Amino acid sequence: MKLVIKELKKSFEKKEVLKDINFEFEKGKIYGLLGRNGSGKTTFFNCISEELDVDGGNFFIEENGNTRNLNEEDIGYVVSTPNVPEFLTAREFLKFFIDINKDRIPNLKTIDEYFDFLKIDEIDRNKLLKDYSHGMKNKMQMLINIIANSNILLLDEPLTSLDVVMAEEMKQMLKQIKTEHIIIFSTHIMELALSLCDEIVLLNKGVLEKVEKANLDNEDLKNKIIEILKEE
């Protein structure tokens, strides 16, 4: 399965943020999306998730030689500022989400099995979400997208607010589930992208550019990425 993007464009007034983007993202890989602040990473995600209307181009799923348009169930979007119903406990939120989506959830597990999978402590499972930290809210947002088994996971700075232990747990979880998804991981932390992602993609001057990692160690790769981004 591939997410294929053809000539995608998006402008805001006179500023062209995305310019004729052409790219293919493959299932089974984690793509690190790097770019300077304001380069358009969140705009790119909002276009793919259809939060924003595009000005040109299209995108579709290609699988077994057939193509189709994306639908709502294809996309799981974890935004940098999590939006969860703070008047519910984590358990109530998870139960509500499962109840309304159970017909499309494969291999349905118990609520506590899902909590265990994402290493959410028992003491936190019955807390109101308003009492969760930013990082824990982000973790819950990630969990419901994993349960929904979306084909494409758009992760906008998902680990930035997590402590060291929680971030490492999330990295291992993403590596564990990547075979079943197309994962695009936006971050401004280069070391995180290099340690987690199979492919590095730069959003630079409005276009996506893959950075070849062959024959480069991490230090050389970092220098190459910095030189490209300096040109913007």
Pairwise pLDDT comparison (14 vs 19), residue with the higher score:
19
- The dihedral of CA 93, 98, 100, 105: what is its sign? positive
Question: Per-residue pLDDT for 224 more than 80?
Answer: no
Residue 165's SS3 state is: helix
Q: Dihedrals φ, ψ of 48, to 5°?
A: -65, -40
Which CATH architecture group holds 2-230?
A: 3-Layer(aba) Sandwich (3.40)
Can you tell me the mean pLDDT for 156-171?
Answer: 78
Question: Per-residue pLDDT for 188 more than 80?
Answer: no
Q: Distance between alpha carbon 125 and the CA centroid of its chain, in Å? A: 24
N-term to C-term CA, the chain? 32
Q: Dihedrals φ, ψ of 30, to 5°?
A: -105, 120
- Per-residue model confidence as pLDDT tens digits over 80-114: 778 889 999 999 999 999 999 888 887 889 999 99
Can you tell me the mean pLDDT for 24-29?
Answer: 95
The residue ranges of every structural domain in the chain are 2-230
Average pLDDT in the chain: 87
- Per-residue model confidence as pLDDT tens digits over 141-159: 888 888 888 899 999 887 7
Question: Per-residue pLDDT for 207 more than 60?
Answer: yes
Q: What is the pLDDT of residue 173?
A: 86
Question: Per-residue pLDDT for 227 more than 90?
Answer: no
Q: In what order do the strands lie in the sheet with 182-186?
A: 75-78, 152-156, 182-186, 30-34, 199-204, 207-211
Q: Which of 141, 180, 172 is nearest to 158 (CA)?
A: 141
Distance between CA atoms of 200 and 192, rounded to whole angstroms? 11
Distance between CA atoms of 32 and 198, rounded to whole angstroms? 8
Can you tell me the mean pLDDT for 206-215?
Answer: 79
Predicted model pTM: 0.88
- Per-residue model confidence as pLDDT tens digits over 120-134: 999 999 999 999 988
Question: Per-residue pLDDT for 214 more than 70?
Answer: no
- pLDDT tier at 217 (50, 70, 90 boundaries)? low
Q: What is the pLDDT of residue 101?
A: 87
- pLDDT tier at 215 (50, 70, 90 boundaries)? low
